[in-house]
Structures are given as C-alpha cells and as structure tokens.
C-alpha cells in the first residue's frame, strides 16, 4: 500500500536523487538580521516549485471531467441571446473550472428518448430499440458547443434563445492541492516532473551565484558546482516531459476523457 499522496511521493523521490546539501543550499537560505531562517525543506520546495509551476502546469494540461447541473444556478440572460452562469464552488467540489467542453440538454445519467421520456432501466433490447427510433426521428438539439469560460467559474452560452428545463455543463476541473485525483500508479510520473522542475530551479538560481563566489572570493566549490552544472539541461527536459509524457498520463487518469477517447478510436454505441 502506498503511504501519503502524489506530492509526498515526489518529495521523497527528490531526497533520494538530489543531494540534501544542495537542497538545503537552495531552499533553506541563511537568515538576514531579524528574518527567520526557513526550517521546513518540504514546505519550501512545494511553495517555490511544485505549487507555482508543476501544479499549475498539471491543471492546464489535465483536469477532471465533471458534469455540473445548471438547473439550480441563477442565470443572467442578455440582449444578445446569451446566458451567463456564475457557478458557485460548492457545485464544483470547491475547485475551479479550467475549461468548458459543452452544455447538454438531456440528463447524462439516464437513458433518454428524443421525446424526453426518461427511463430508469436499461437493457440491450431497450438500447437497440432506442437506436432504431432515433435513426427515424428528426435530430433534436441535445447539446451546444457554443460556450466559453469568461472568468473563474463563469460560463457563457451564446446560442441561448431557447433553454430547456434541464441543462448540464460538462467541464474540466482543476486538481485539489494534494493531487488526490490521480491514481497511485501515476505517482512516479508526477514525481519525475517535480524532479525536473526542481533541478531546473536549482540550476537557474544557483549557477551564477556560485560562479560569482569563485571569482570574488576565490573559493573552490568542487562537487557542489559539478552536480549543479549537470542540471543545465533540466529546463528543456522538463518542457519535453510536460508535452510528451505528462499530458498523456493526466488524460489517462481521467475516466471520462479516457472513455471518450477510446470510443472515438474503436467506435461504440453512445
């Protein structure tokens, strides 16, 4: 059983890979006069690298497929036939909407005929019969993709001339602060992304000060400088890993997007 979460695993991996003396040198800087010296290495790494960079990138690349019912949310209708919804955080598990994929006008959790008769049961005969009826019926307006995200949890429907009673928004939500939405089997991939981000941060913030110390004080830094010099390609490696690997890992961790991708590749009813 894996103890802790994705961030705890990432911090643990960092301490196995990067010498602790270098982590202390970069993240636990010496105190100046009345300022207190940071004492928690894990918190400093999260505050300076994982939070502002890795977590932000993961939210931009991934997210969680989520369906938000709009019936109980106040909508503002404009003169241009647009509907504006300001979604409260309690409707999104206290997370932010990163992207809006579309709005559905049928209940996505029930088998629905085009006429609007919701059926609670399901069987192969019912599904086949429904498919035949839908093939012979005119295509109703089941959804709209003319939607956009205009602010934090603010969505706008632009073709809102007629809005049915039941409306559901399919959105991508950000991850929580513990990355608890990804499975334990993806912790190693997340830890690798954190490792490259930390190495890039170390090289960017220490390579010039170390060279300045050699020039002004004549101090030979030896192994510390050699190790940090090895991180000069970490930034490019981070960007490549973010684009080529982590995007796929995060997508496969979202059951909704994964299922739709497989359906598009191999086909299938619904």
State pLDDT tens for residues 30-70. 655 555 566 789 999 999 999 999 999 999 999 899 999 98
| Per-residue exposure over 123-134, b if at least 16 CB sit within 10 Å of its own CB, e if not | eeeeeeebeeee
- Confidence at residue 6, expressed as pLDDT on a 0 to 100 scale: 95
pLDDT exceeds cutoff 50 at 123? yes
Decide the pairing of beta strands 97-104 and 147-151: unpaired
Residue span of the structural domain in which 42 resides? 6-61+180-252
State pLDDT tens for residues 195-209. 999 999 999 988 767
Name the residue with higher pLDDT: 147 or 199: 199
**Confidence class for position 19, pLDDT limits 50, 70, 90:** very high
Residue matched to tokens 């085009």: 114
| Per-residue exposure over 74-85, b if at least 16 CB sit within 10 Å of its own CB, e if not | ebeeeeeebbbb
Name the residue with higher pLDDT: 56 or 163: 56
- Distance, CA of 87 to CA of 83 (rounded, Å): 12
**Confidence class for position 121, pLDDT limits 50, 70, 90:** low
- Distance, CA of 125 to CA of 131 (rounded, Å): 10
Instruction: Say if residues 246 and 179 touch (Cβ distance below 8 Å).
Output: no
- Distance, CA of 176 to CA of 157 (rounded, Å): 27
The total domain count for the chain is 2
State pLDDT tens for residues 219-261. 556 678 888 889 999 999 999 999 999 999 999 998 888 887 8
Work out the mean pLDDT of the chain and round it to a whole number.
82
Q: Calculate what percentage of the chain has a pLDDT beyond 70.
A: 78
Domain's final residue, options 142, 175, 208: 175
Name the residue with higher pLDDT: 5 or 262: 5
Is residue 131 located within the same domain as residue 42?
no
Domain membership flag for residue 211 = yes
- Confidence at residue 115, expressed as pLDDT on a 0 to 100 scale: 43
- Distance, CA of 123 to CA of 101 (rounded, Å): 29
Domain membership flag for residue 267 = no
**Average pLDDT over every residue of 168-194:** 93
Is residue 38 located within the same domain as residue 10?
yes
CA distances from 42 to 11, 35, 36, 45, 142 (A): 7, 19, 17, 5, 49
Is residue 13 located within the same domain as residue 36?
yes
Least confident range of 84-88, 104-108, 191-195: 104-108
- Confidence at residue 116, expressed as pLDDT on a 0 to 100 scale: 46
The values of phi and psi at residue 240, to 5°, are -65, -45
Domain membership flag for residue 1 = no
Is residue 147 located within the same domain as residue 17?
no
pLDDT exceeds cutoff 90 at 185? yes
Domain's final residue, options 144, 175, 206: 175
CA distances from 239 to 95, 195, 198, 226, 252 (A): 26, 12, 13, 23, 19
Decide the pairing of beta strands 83-86 and 75-77: antiparallel
- Confidence at residue 223, expressed as pLDDT on a 0 to 100 scale: 78
Is residue 136 located within the same domain as residue 186?
no
């Amino acid at each position: 059983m894996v103890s802790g979460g994705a961030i705890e695993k990432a911090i643990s991996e960092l301490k196995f890979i990067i010498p602790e003396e270098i982590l202390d040198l970069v993240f636990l800087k010496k105190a100046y006069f009345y300022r207190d010296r940071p004492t928690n290495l894990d918190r400093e790494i999260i505050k300076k690298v994982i939070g502002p960079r890795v977590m932000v990138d993961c939210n931009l690349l991934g997210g969680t497929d989520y369906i938000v019912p709009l019936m109980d949310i106040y909508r503002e209708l404009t003169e241009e036939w647009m509907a504006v919804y300001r979604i409260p955080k309690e409707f999104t598990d206290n997370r932010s909407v990163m992207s809006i994929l579309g709005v559905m006008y049928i209940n996505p959790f029930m088998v629905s005929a085009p006429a609007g008769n919701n059926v609670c049961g399901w069987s192969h005969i019912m599904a086949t019969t429904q498919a035949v009826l839908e093939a012979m019926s005119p295509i109703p307006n089941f959804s709209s993709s003319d939607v956009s995200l205009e602010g934090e949890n603010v969505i706008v429907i632009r073709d809102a001339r007629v809005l049915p009673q039941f409306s559901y928004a399919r959105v991508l939500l950000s991850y929580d602060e513990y990355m608890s939405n990804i499975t334990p089997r993806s912790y190693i991939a997340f830890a690798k992304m954190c490792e490259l981000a930390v190495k890039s941060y170390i090289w960017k913030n220490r390579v010039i000060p170390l060279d300045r110390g050699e020039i002004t004080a004549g101090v030979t830094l030896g192994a510390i400088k050699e190790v940090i010099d090895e991180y000069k390609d970490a930034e490019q490696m981070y960007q490549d890993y973010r684009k080529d690997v982590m995007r796929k890992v995060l997508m496969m961790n979202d059951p909704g997007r994964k299922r739709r991708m497989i359906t598009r590749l191999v086909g299938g009813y619904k």
